[in-house]
Structure 1
């Protein structure tokens, strides 16, 4: 706008109205350039899914370079998959999808994580694999409910420290990047249970991992780690993968841990043999115990039932010679045994 036009606009002249129209047109054009989204025609089955207004929508493998605007009006969506397209950004109206819990943006062309995604505070799962990401924005810390984050197949050279501020993150995928080390205070992520670091550039085992007692899954496949420390002090660990590293000896781990890497098969065979020996030993012990119980039961049956006395030991009557403690007294029979006849006289 020239100086004369600015002056007329300030004075409220006719040129001011024209100037305002020019400014509005420029703003609208800029907005269209910033958000070139349109309602393109979608395949019939996809159109049916959009019209059904269900809580889940899949728009994968459609070659989308822009997101159709009407998708942002589907406020009932809880799961949205936009994987395997050509998306580079998302419209600001995307923030209307407040109920989203699962969002798939993997296999696209994002150079940065769209800031509008960081406004979806109910997200629990966010997939951004195989894009062109180098960093994460500070705004990502808004996603306090995020539990699962996939950032594998990007261009990260360092561990994104901002992820340590996500209080509920339990599963983190950072494989196939260019990371060489980890923060020394990573062990503070006590909620982290699964960590995938395969296909990076680690030349030694990160010491901080030996302090992460809550880790259940650790994947360090395809790195350059020559040796591994003992991990038998990690109580929660259940799977440790270190395949395709220059490692010759597997680490010591608890018996419950599954190992994937050099020497793991031999260790697994040794464990199975040990378990088989323990099983056979337990079966033999159970058989001996059962045999002893059977012999004891047979002995009791042959001896016959015994009558238990309710008298104290000092009150028990003295046993007459020649009588059995288990036999009840019988005057007639006892008399005959002692040579006394039925009439009370002595005789045979």
Structure 2
């Protein structure tokens, strides 16, 4: 019996999470049978265009997903849901976001891939706001009131219509992860890059093997590269999806990955895939040793903007220091190329127990001008705060072989990287020197 049938038969009373994706055109009123317990409601992948005005009867509702539906307006009834903190309306047709639709405890708002041209001033009156996903809309400005959102740590503005980055955003004291590629910025920083010399690799020379992983932007396979006149070479091939992700366009990710160049703590790009039968874009990359593992897992609903580490994760002081040095060096290299990674997180870092590490996933990467302007410095220092958070997470998990003096120095650097005055933070060259 499917979930909707069980719901209508009254068999789901007491449920805390409900997922319904079955071509719904109307909100099933039977959902209100779960009002005393329901905390997470996922109605993504239907044909809904409205929600009931009395949605607030779901008095325990914390999380609501309505992505891939047919909404043209963010429903105002959401604002009456007193415990609602996470809202996801990705890939609808939303043009209007009324201030009344923003609940008082709003923490995480996903409006990716819609048609929004303007956001309400009330957004700045949501002090708990931590993550704001706005990629793939038609925004040219953000409300000035956003300056009051001092807890806001992650913003995705990629693929909109910004001709300049809002100064309000660049001065936010908590901002750590920013994506803005694919906007018609007045100074197209990507045009300042050197010519792309990445070799082309024919699709016919690649033999795909097992899937190694899949993210929002693409699928990674293990493969054999059979270059003419060369022995077969084990590689990884990432084939990019064409759809908009929460970070922005997958093709922007590919361009940034190529422009990053080579560094010991970045995954090496060997070439660009050409001649794919479906014209799918892709990159051929160095195959990573299977002894490497992800430093952490993605943030959860509860942690919001913080990665989730396995409970047993611990580091020696030396291995943690090697990780910190490697990532700081990689970030310094990227900034010297005029690139901000945009997603400097533990879940995007591969590491070995000895402390060898690689920074991956350029889905949120963006170009900035190769100058020392306040804007370029601010963009770099926003990323420094993300690194400071990483330093704090490593410090919490270092075993007892750390001296008091080492602890004090690490803590001091971590605090300087995360201080609220954006431009007062050190750059990665200074951070690398401190870690040396």
TM-score (norm 1): 0.54
Of 33, 41, 45, the residue aligned with 1:84 is 45
Counterpart CA distance in 1 for 2:56 and 2:386 is: 42
Q: 1:136 maps to what in 2?
A: 97
Corresponding residue pairs, total = 218
Q: 2:319 maps to what in 1?
A: none
Distance 1:220 1:118, change over 3 A: same
Of 161, 179, 188, the residue aligned with 2:121 is 161
Query: What's the CA shift for 1:203?
Result: 1.8
CA contact (8 A) 1:222 1:245 kept: no
Distance 1:258 1:168, change over 3 A: closer
Query: What aligned pairs does 1:315-334 form with structure 2 within 5 A after superposition?
Result: none
1:115 aligns with 2:76: yes
Of 167, 170, 174, the residue aligned with 1:214 is 174
RMSD of Structure 2 on Structure 1 (CA)? 3.5
Query: What aligned pairs does 1:242-257 form with structure 2 within 5 A after superposition?
Result: 243=365, 247=369, 251-252=376-377, 253-254=380-381, 256=384
Q: 2:202 maps to what in 1?
A: none
Distance 1:79 1:156, change over 3 A: same
Distance 1:188 1:138, change over 3 A: closer
Query: What's the CA shift for 1:45?
Result: 4.7
Query: What's the CA shift for 1:103?
Result: 0.7
Query: What aligned pairs does 1:13-52 form with structure 2 within 5 A after superposition?
Result: 44-48=2-6, 51-52=11-12
Of 139, 146, 168, the residue aligned with 1:179 is 139
TM-score (norm 2): 0.44
Counterpart CA distance in 2 for 1:196 and 1:154 is: 13
Query: What's the CA shift for 1:185?
Result: 4.5
CA contact (8 A) 1:173 1:196 kept: yes
Query: What's the CA shift for 1:208?
Result: 2.3
Gaps of 5+ in 1: 1-42, 232-236, 260-270, 280-348
The one-character-per-residue Cα deviations of 1:327-346 (angstroms, maximum 9, x if unpaired) are xxxxxxxxxxxxxxxxxxxx
1:145 aligns with 2:97: no
SS in 2 for 1:95: helix
Q: Which has the higher contact order (CA 8 A, sep 6+)?
A: 2
SS in 1 for 2:55: helix
Of 12, 16, 24, the residue aligned with 1:64 is 24
Bigger-Rg structure (1/2): 1
Distance 1:51 1:103, change over 3 A: same
SS in 1 for 2:11: helix
